[in-house]
Amino acid sequence: MKIRKNLNAIVLQDWFVRFRDPENVYLPPELNAKILSGKVYGHHKFQDGDSVNTSKIVGVNGRRIRTEGGSTYLLGSIQKEYLAWLKKEGLGYNPRLPVSIKKI
């Protein structure tokens, strides 16, 4: 995916979805939120290519993801290992709507 510099979003490349605290198996789902991890580009707090974890995902509009911290991320390329895991687990991947969240 080509990255255009004039977007009003931070670009996240080589991204994957994970839980904020994957080690705590007893944490209720509403407290163990989905977040994104990946390499960030165009963020004022990080250098291009830095690995980051976002805050909780609170909104999804296609490939634009809004987080609890107020940032909007444009998803670039998905991490190859994550894509392979999705396929192995029988979980679908829609490149136009790659992330979904449930409102609790």
Domain boundaries, the chain: 10-88
Terminal Cα-to-Cα distance of the chain (whole angstroms): 33
Does residue 36 contact residue 64 with C-beta atoms inside 8 Å? no
Residue 4 has pLDDT above 70, yes or no: no
**pLDDT tens-place string over residues 9-68:** 799 999 999 887 767 767 776 777 889 999 999 999 999 999 999 999 999 999 999 999
Round to whole Å and give the CA distance between 85 and 50.
Answer: 23
pTM for the full predicted model: 0.81
**DSSP output for 46-62:** S-TTEEEE---EEEEET
